[in-house]
Structure 1
Amino acid sequence: MDKTKVLFVCLGNICRSPSAEAVFNGVVKKAGLSKQFEVDSAGTSGWHAGEPADKRMQSHAIRRDYNLTSLSRKFDPHSDFDYFDYIIGMDDSNMQNLKSMARNGNDLQKLHKMTDFCSDGQYDEVPDPYYGGAEGFELVLDLLEDACEGLLEKIS
């Protein structure tokens, strides 16, 4: 059986998308479905390529038993659109960047916004916590936990 391949994308791939990767891995593990998924993350910029996730994001995630182990990488439209089944952007800017890199309608069909899978509809983007305080990192994790549950439900 082929694995469902999911890629989470934000701007720098050091806060939101590596957190989404870890949270979604946690959600599928809890559901006993880890062997059915391959999960990764990337950024639309390459500013932090090769770096681990932001230390503040890691600290908040660890408190919820998520371990952010991936290293930042830049989204590669040539290989990522071909490889992944779902490409999930964190905000409107990420979505616009991803859409501008799409080569055809098939690429566009793979694009989804993270908050489209949230249950309450209160937020239309996962806000970038980089320049804020602790509450921003907690909000990101709250939104990702909700959205990742919704994403798994949609895929299943």
Structure 2
Amino acid sequence: MIRILMVCLGNICRSPLAHGILDSKLDGNYFNVDSAGTSNYHKGSPPDLCSIAVVRKNGIDITNQRARQFKIKDFETFDYIYVMDESNFENVVKMARNVEDISKVRLILNEIHPNKNLEVPDPYYGGDSGFDDVYNMLDEACNLITNRLAR
């Protein structure tokens, strides 16, 4: 089983979107997808209603997800750790115990734009289309991740 973790700050907007999108593309018999936040602001909370709505209109249900905080044990549990932005990348890497842990951590948009270190923006600051724009970015990145993992 290949295990993949999506990480943002609060685990209610971006990482639940990425979690739901990637999970919908992969066979659950071979892959496990989860998400977490580097903060504990929303621990136990469901995804933001706007995140739920944007994936729902794309045929995905994330209402069963609950926010949790990233923990050091996640380095043992997950094979790939995708983060949404530089700040969360740095927060996760600071918790790494060794080079192997660090090698699992990647900025998700580097899947689309290798080595450019682009960030998934906070959808709240994207105006009326913020959540749709973030959904589309993550969907494209998740398509590339799916294609690579399928090989």
TM-score normalized by structure 2? 0.92
Matching residue of 1:151: 145
**Per-residue deviation, residues 113-139 of structure 1 (Å, max 9, x unmatched):** 110112699981111113443311001
Q: Give yes or no for the alignment of 1:74 onto 2:79.
A: no
In structure 1, C-alpha distance between the alignment counterparts of 2:57 and 2:113, rounded to whole Å: 23
Q: Which moved more, 1:86-95 or 1:123-132?
A: 123-132
In structure 2, C-alpha distance between the alignment counterparts of 1:120 and 1:82, rounded to whole Å: 26
Q: Which runs of 4+ in 1 moved over 6 A?
A: 119-123
* Partner of residue 118 from structure 1, selected from 105, 112, 116: 112
Are the aligned partners of 1:119 and 1:146 in contact in 2 as well (CA < 8 Å)? Answer: no
**Per-residue deviation, residues 43-71 of structure 1 (Å, max 9, x unmatched):** 00000000000011111111111111210
Matching residue of 2:9: 11
In structure 1, C-alpha distance between the alignment counterparts of 2:117 and 2:104, rounded to whole Å: 21
Alignment partner of 1:64: what SS? coil
Are the aligned partners of 1:25 and 1:34 in contact in 2 as well (CA < 8 Å)? Answer: yes
Q: How does 1:118-137 map to 2 (within 5 A)?
A: 118=112, 124-137=118-131
Q: Aligned-pair RMSD on alpha carbons?
A: 1.8
- Distance apart, 1:16 and its partner CA: 0.5
**Structure 2: gaps of 5 or more residues:** none
- Residue identity in the other structure for 2:46: P
* Cα distance change, pair 36–71 in 1 and its aligned pair in 2 (3 A): same
Matching residue of 1:103: 97
Q: Give yes or no for the alignment of 1:52 onto 2:46.
A: yes
Are the aligned partners of 2:9 and 2:88 in contact in 1 as well (CA < 8 Å)? Answer: yes
TM-score normalized by structure 1? 0.89
**Structure 1: gaps of 5 or more residues:** none
* Partner of residue 94 from structure 1, selected from 88, 91, 95: 88
Give % identity: 39
